[in-house]
Amino acid sequence: MNSSSANWLIRNINIVLEDRVVTGSVIVLNGRIERIISHESMDKAELAESLESIDGQGGWLLPGFIDIHVHGGFSADFMDADRESYDTITRFHASQGTTGMLATTMTASKEAIEAVLQAAAEYRSTEMPFAALYGVHLEGPFISEKWPGAQNPAHIKNPQLDWLKKWHSEWPDLIRLLTLAPEKPGAIEMISWLAEQGIITACGHTDAVYTEIEAAADAGLSHAVHTYNAMRGLHHREPGTLGAVLTDDRIYAELIADGEHVHTAAIRLLLAAKPADKVILITDAISAAGMPDGDYALGGLTVVVKQGVARLREGNALAGSSLTMIRAFRFMLDHTSLSLPEVSRMASGNAAKQLGISDRTGSITVGKQADLVWTDAQFNVRRTWVQGRSVYENTVK
C-alpha cells in the first residue's frame, strides 16, 4: 500500500471497539472510518475491490494511543524546541502505536518554555508526518518545592497568571493542559482563568491537603498527573492530594503503568476507586525511551537509566520513564482483570474525551479519523495510521 494513501481496507482482524471485540474488516476512505464489517455479516462483495487490501493475519486493530504526558523519545526532548527533535519524537512514538500526543515541557525558565511554545506552534502549522501534536502540556513551573521529583528546583515559581495570558494570546489554543500545585499563592485564580479558556488544569508535584484539592476542583481543576507520584499521599486522617484524586470523580487520573512508578496493588486500588472513564494511561517518557541504558539530560539535570529505569543521578528520584504506550497497554492486560476494550479506553478514548476531541478520534467508530494501530496476536505493533495515512510499518513478518 502507498504510505500516502488514505483509502484502504484491512480484513481478517480482531477490531477493538469501545465495548466489545468483533472479527471482520474495516474500510477507510479519505482518512476516515467508512465501514466496520463483522465476520458474521460480511459479504465479500461488500469489500471494495478497488481498494488496496491488507491482511490483518488474525491480529488486533486498536484505536491509536493518545499520550498526553510525554517529554521525548529516541534521544530527543520537546525542550529541544526544534523540528528535527519533534520529528524524532513523533516518529518513534508512532512506531509504538501513538497517533496523538501533547508536547510536555519541564519546569524551566520562561524563555525556554516560550521556545517550546513557538516550536510546537510552528510544527503544528505544517503537515505533521508522524504522530500528531494536539498541543502542549506545561508541566510546571508552578509546582511545589517539596515535591520537585525530577523537575529542576532552580526554576520553580509561584503561579504567574500574566505569563499564561501572554502565552494564550500569542499562541491561542496551543496550551491544552497545565500542571501546578494548587496550594501555591495565586493558584486558584489561575485555575479559574484556565477553566474559562477551556484549558485543562492538573494537580501535580504538589503538597496540597485534601481540602485544597477540593477547592481547586471547585475552581475548575479536573486532572491529576502521574497519580501517586510526586504528590502528598493518603493518610486516614488527612486524605491529602491522593485521597482527593481517588475519591473525586471530577478528576481524571493519569497512570504510568510500567511496574516501577506504581505497584500493581496500587493500580488495583486506583481502578477500584475511579470510574473506568477517568483513568488515562500515559508514558511520561523522556529522551531515553527507545534508547539503551546510559546517562541522559532532563530539564538540565542528569538522569541515569539502568535496566530501563530512569533516575536522577543526584537524589535517585524517578525521572520520567522509558515507557511506550504499547508497553503500558500490555502491562495493564497482564496485571489487571480489565478487558481489552477497557484498557483501550484508558489508552485512547479517555484522553480524547478529556481533550475534547472524542468526536473525531479515540475509538474505532464510523465517521471518525482512521487513527489506528494494527498489532500481531502478542500486541507487537505492525502498523500505525494517522488520519488514514500509514506513518509506521514494521516490515518484519
Cα–Cα distance, 72 to 92 (Å, whole number): 9
246 is in an annotated binding site: no
Whether residue 339 has pLDDT greater than 50: yes
Interval 254-279: pLDDT, tens: 999 999 999 999 999 999 999 999 99
382 is in an annotated binding site: no
* Statement to judge: residues 127 and 230 lie in one domain: yes
| Catalytic hit among 87, 284, 293, 376 | 284
* Statement to judge: residues 158 and 20 lie in one domain: no
* Statement to judge: residues 43 and 165 lie in one domain: no
205 is in an annotated binding site: yes
Whether residue 115 has pLDDT greater than 90: yes
Q: Is residue 31 part of a domain?
A: yes
What is the average per-residue pLDDT within 30-52?
Answer: 77
Whether residue 349 has pLDDT greater than 70: yes
* Statement to judge: residues 45 and 153 lie in one domain: no
Whether residue 147 has pLDDT greater than 60: yes
Q: Is residue 2 part of a domain?
A: no
* Statement to judge: residues 289 and 171 lie in one domain: yes
The confidence band for 219, taking pLDDT boundaries of 50, 70 and 90, is very high
207 is annotated as an active-site residue = no
229 is in an annotated binding site: yes
235 is in an annotated binding site: no
Q: What is the total count of domains within the chain? A: 2
Interval 227-248: pLDDT, tens: 999 999 999 999 999 999 999 9
* Statement to judge: residues 204 and 221 lie in one domain: yes
230 is in an annotated binding site: yes
Query: What pTM did the predictor assign?
Result: 0.96
* Statement to judge: residues 27 and 167 lie in one domain: no
| pLDDT score for 39 | 76
* Statement to judge: residues 26 and 123 lie in one domain: no
* Statement to judge: residues 69 and 141 lie in one domain: yes
* Statement to judge: residues 247 and 110 lie in one domain: yes
| pLDDT score for 42 | 57
CATH number of the domain residue 48 falls in = 2.30.40.10
Domain extent at residue 37: 8-62+363-393
Cell numbers describing residue 227: 497519580
